[in-house]
Amino acid sequence: MELSAKIYVAGGRGLVGSAIIRKLRHNGCAHIIERSSKMLDLRDQAATLSFFRNEQPEYVFVAAAKVGGILANNTYPADFIYDNLIMETNMIHAAHETGVKKMLFLGSSCIYPKFAPQPIKEEYLLTGELEPTNEPYAIAKIAGIKLCQAYRKQYGDNFISVMPTNLYGINDNFDLEGAHVLPALIRRFHEAKQRGDSAVSVWGTGTPRREFLYVDDLAEACCFLMEHYDDSDIVNIGTGSDITIVELAHLLAKVTGYQGDIVFDPTKPDGTPVKRLDVSKINQLGWQAKTSLADGLATTYRWFCESKK
């Protein structure tokens, strides 16, 4: 990407999009296009196509999505599949229609089968059943990948797709009803410390293993791939290491300064038992994650505290 190129980051106000914008600005990119969801409803096909025609972006990062944790996915399955399907369809088609030079589509590691062998390789996609608690979202993301591959095959569009692992960091969603496990736990431990609670309850048994990637590392990986990768095959982005929810909870208690007990609620769903990505492909291309989980959590918690002032 030339530093003067017009770059559109869809979802630029969210966790991923804002991190990509920070990275692009750090790299010296001078023409970054942003639109909030209030300014541009990406579910509106006519509005989306009109925006692409008027702005003529040369490079596009598709980070706009409806996202959430287990509770949100279980409560609003129709919204998760509809909103994500229609947004990605509108953007991918508009990118094709307006001759975008290159587009990067962000999927999610939840697209892989619930019981996929570990670590999860890119070729495991569509080899087994999905995790039921996030199936609508995963199906929408799989459709986005297939759309990118189809437009590349039929029209030669340079559309690539990446699959990040569980993300966290600055600008995350800390709403207890809609957040993913890590930001939700940060808020619970923080508020429990403020109230002086004797215990914090955590969903599930605590035994599932999860991999977590600091979002600024993801942004760096996306910019790296935009420069160095041109193929239809998907690319995993992660750290290559995981941690149990029990270990995560105790680490968060330390980061937030919470000193009470941690109680696990086995009546709540665990989700996928183990989920760790095989990142050998992106490592071989020349990229590796840099931020340790402890450092990333400390930075995220400082930002969370500052944002509440």
Residues annotated catalytic, as ranges: 137
Determine whether the annotation assigns residue 185 to a binding site.
no
Determine whether the annotation assigns residue 107 to a binding site.
yes
d(CA 307, CA 300): 10
**Residue whose entry in the numeric block shows the structure tokens 């490592």:** 283
Determine whether the annotation assigns residue 180 to a binding site.
yes
d(CA 309, CA 298): 17
Determine whether the annotation assigns residue 203 to a binding site.
yes
Determine whether the annotation assigns residue 225 to a binding site.
no
Q: Which of 303, 183, 289 is nearest to 242 (CA)?
A: 289
Q: How far is CA 26 from CA 146, 217, 220, 223, in A?
A: 32, 13, 10, 11
Q: Please, is 46 exposed, middle or buried when counting C-beta atoms within 10 Å of its C-beta (0-12, 13-18, 19+)? A: exposed
Neighbours of 284 (CB within 10 A): 8
The DSSP 8-state label assigned to residue 92 in this structure reads H
The DSSP 8-state label assigned to residue 277 in this structure reads B
Determine whether the annotation assigns residue 11 to a binding site.
yes
Determine whether the annotation assigns residue 188 to a binding site.
yes
Q: Is the dihedral of CA 205, 208, 209, 211 positive or negative?
A: negative
Determine whether the annotation assigns residue 141 to a binding site.
yes
Q: Which of 293, 284, 291, 289 is nearest to 122 (CA)?
A: 284
**Residue whose entry in the numeric block shows the structure tokens 């609670």:** 197
Determine whether the annotation assigns residue 53 to a binding site.
no
Determine whether the annotation assigns residue 178 to a binding site.
no
Instruction: Give the residues across from 53 on adjacent strands.
Output: none
d(CA 9, CA 26): 15
Determine whether the annotation assigns residue 12 to a binding site.
yes
Secondary structure (DSSP) of 108-129: -GGGS-TT--SSBPGGGTTSSP
Cis peptide before 183 (omega within 30 of 0): no
Number of H helices, E strands in the chain: 10, 13
- 201 and 155 in contact (C-beta within 8 Å)? no
Determine whether the annotation assigns residue 257 to a binding site.
no
Determine whether the annotation assigns residue 169 to a binding site.
no
Q: Which residue ranges are tagged as binding site for substrate?
A: 188, 203, 210, 270
Q: Which residue ranges are tagged as binding site for NADP(+)?
A: 11-17, 106-109, 141, 164-167, 180
Q: Which residue ranges are tagged as binding site?
A: 11-17, 106-109, 141, 164-167, 180, 188, 203, 210, 270
